[in-house]
Structure 1
Amino acid sequence: MLPDIDVVTRDDLMRLITKYRLRPIKRLSQHFVVDPTVIRDIVKHVPGGSRVLEVGTGIGVLTYYLARVASQVITIEIDGRLVRIAERVLSGLGNVSVIQGDALRIPWPNTDVLISNVPYSITSPLIIRIIKERIPMALLTIQREVADRLVSGPGSDNYGRLSIITQCNYSVNVLSTYPPDSFYPSPEVYSTLVMMTRREPCYSDIRILESVTNLLFRHRNRILRWVLNKYLGPEAVNTIINVGIDVNTRIRQLGINELIRIADLLGQFINDTNNH
């Protein structure tokens, strides 16, 4: 049994890692939380009695504290070694289910909140799946630079496909940022806790929005006319001109409302291109 969340220390968490002689697997981007502040920051934002889905169980430390506030925690871990350790750490907790599997591939249960200390290698695919699954709320610890992308606006160096698709479907709040030594082993970057709260989508078909932004942001510093001519031809350019959108705007300067209008108009052209 772990100490109460208010009194658990870094030494407590490091001792647990030492006890199980953990050797993190680099290709799985494994970094374990050893700063209790990170755990407390996450848990305090979890509504009491909620159903929680956790991606990346690790050795079950965060899971343990989530189970104290949630009605149910279903936690997914790809690494069988960690599953076995987590089952020992979490033994005796009747409201926790540990599943071994790839969280990007297996079905997700209905949930109120998704929580993850996200393995950096799956950050973007996980966020896209959260959006497609319409998860009501997500608390994610991610690379600071990815957090910057989620909240960036037009013209910013960090503005891109992930900014647009996320902001179209979720309100994003940056909660806290943590130094590398908050995790073991320490990553080379700072990490940021963000809260994503679902809102009414600004565009109904995420697949079209994905396709259009994927095409346009291949050349984010080019003007719209150049990209459309290159991939879709002059008819697509004329279609955009006819509704009053300035085709001399650089891709990275297009706002979400403009991109939604463009997606509406280009959906057919992109479908035609994909069918050839």
Structure 2
Amino acid sequence: MFKPKKKLGQCFLIDKNFVNKAVESANLTKDDIVLEIGLGKGILTEELAKNAKKVYVIEIDKNLKIFEDKLKEKYDNIEVIWGDAVKVDLNKLDFNKVVANLPYQISSPITFKLIKKGFDLAVLMYQYEFAKRMVAKEGTKDYGRLSVAVQARADVEIVAKVPPTAFSPRPKVYSAIVKIKPNRNKYHIENEDFFDDFLRAIFQHRNKSVRKALIDSSKELNYSKDEMKKILEEFSNTNLDIKNLINEKVFKLSVEDIVKLSNEFYRFLQNRDRL
């Protein structure tokens, strides 16, 4: 008898209604190659195998091989990769969609690893509170670094709220099925690494103005506080729009505003360093 491992965050989806909801949301065809993260007992994997051309599954726990063996008796389009999804080289896998009940402790790193790799559509299960932060809009209490980091790169929507009873063992919190569609042409990010550093710096002080946040977190951009004060004085004199944006509170700025400000600041610093 297999016993789920708490340290691996194993809460297996057992409610077929939500399995079907996730699969339907992925709009699968026989041309799709799907990545699943976490084999579980194979309930979701089986539905994916029925509807897609091929299914890759990344699973860390080799004790789940019994479920792989059962699946492979019926389906020849499933390939299980035994390893840690955070460490597996996704560039070696040719998939275009992702459908998974993610272990909650790897939600953030896996999401950004997937977005960096690229895909057509993902339908992923998250802790509900995490999902709310992913879709949050500016000015709300859930709006933060995660909201902007995801929405700058993808359109995100909550498809369904999922109760603890849909899992075994039951988690203590609600979950959510989230649909993610990359939107690479919606915003242009000048430099991905700088953008992520910029987000980390300003959202450490989300209730302060961007100016104060950047000064207080200047080390995130490799400057001293005094250097940052001087730089921001020069930067704010670039134009009135920039001045207004850096004097606004961080959590009130839209994704578009933050991407624009990050791009402008990156270009300003690049030009300044050349002088």
Into which bin does the TM-score normalised by the smaller protein fall? 0.7 to 0.9
1:130 aligns with: 114
Give the deviation of 1:92 after TM superposition.
3.2
Shift in Å, 1:268: 6.5
Question: For the aligned residues, what is the CA RMSD?
Answer: 2.0
**Quick one: which amino acid aligns to residue 101 of structure 1?**
G
CA contact (8 A) 2:207 2:251 kept: yes
Shift of 1:208: 1.9
Give CA deviations for 1:46-103 in whole Å, capped at 9, x if unaligned: 3211110111111222101110000000111011111343233432311110110111
Name the structure 2 match of 1:31: 11
Paired residue type of 1:31: C
Q: Quote how far apart the aligned CAs of 1:25 are.
A: 1.2
- The C-alpha deviation readout for 1:153-175, integer Å capped at 9, x for no partner, is 11111111111121111111211
Alignment match, 2:40: 58
SS at match of 1:153: coil
- Residue 203 (structure 2) aligned to one of 197, 217, 222: 217
1:203 aligns with 2:188: yes
- Provide the C-alpha distance between the structure 2 equivalents of 1:90 and 1:117, rounded to a whole number of angstroms: 20
CA distance in 1, matches of 2:202, 2:20: 40
- Structure 1 counterpart of 2:250, one-letter code: I
1:36-185 alignment runs, 5 A limit: 36-46=16-26, 47-49=28-30, 50-108=32-90, 109-185=93-169
Gapped runs of 5+ residues in structure 1? 1-20, 272-276
Q: Aligned pair in 2 of structure 1 residues 98, 73: CA closer, same or farther (>3 Å)?
A: same
Q: Percent identity?
A: 29
In structure 2, runs of 5+ residues without a counterpart are 271-275
User: Structure 2 CA distance, aligned partners of 1:38 and 1:177?
Assistant: 9
Structure 2 residue corresponding to 1:234, chosen from 229, 246, 251: 229
The structure that is helix-richer by fraction is 2
- 1:269 and 1:80 mapped to 2: Cα distance? 51
For residues 229 and 169 of structure 1, the distance between their equivalents in structure 2, rounded to whole angstroms, comes to 26
- Scaled by the length of structure 1, the TM-score of the pair is 0.85
3-state secondary structure, aligned to 2:152: helix
Q: Once superposed, which parts of structure 1, at least 4 consecutive aligned residues long, lie more than 6 Å away?
A: 268-271
Q: Distance in 1 between matches of 2:121 and 2:214?
A: 36
